[in-house]
Amino acid sequence: MNINFITECDTQGIDLKDLHSLAETVLAKECEDDSVQVTVLLTSDEVLKELNFKFFGIDEPTDVLAFPDTIQDDVFVFPQQSSDSYSLGDIAISVPNAGRKASNSIFSLQEEVAHLLTHACLHLCGFDHETAKETRVMQKKEENYLKSTKIHT
């Protein structure tokens, strides 16, 4: 499994090693394939707004976007590293957005980013939240993964 983090913003308060471990756990259990590659971009509100518009036609910033490789027609959103693994997709997380959410809740920045990362990994593995049932399934999985890590207390 190959998980690459690209940081384009201040990541103070974020432990990339713990996030890597979390993503690895989610992907290993949900995708059941050790040969996947995922790129995670930690970036700004502006970049998330640009990506949201470019790929989904929504001219607003958001907290997290997941780009399964299947929707990209072999055009990768982020640079891919050569390896024996295949690209499952890309994830983009707005660190400033996560910081605002964390400051208005009981969660730390690390916990908020961990939640967004887990959510996006589940999307890459085929989960969605279009219906109430799908939402419940996805939320339960998120809760279980986050509780099983040292990130969430």
Sheet of 64-68, strand order? 2-7, 36-43, 86-94, 64-68
Q: Which residues contact 100 (CB under 8 A, 6 or more apart)?
A: none
Quick: pLDDT tens for 56-81.
999 999 999 999 886 544 444 555 55
Q: Is 149 helix (H, G, I), strand (E, B) or coil?
A: coil
Q: What is the CATH number of the domain that holds 85?
A: 3.40.390.30
Number of folded domains in the chain? 1
What is the SS3 assignment for 90?
strand
pLDDT, tens only, 70-129: 654 444 455 555 556 678 999 999 999 999 999 999 999 999 999 999 999 999 999 999
DSSP assignment of 46-86: HHHHHHHHHHH---S--SEEEEEGGGTTT--SSPPPPSSSE
Range of the domain at 37: 2-147
Residue 44 included in any domain: yes
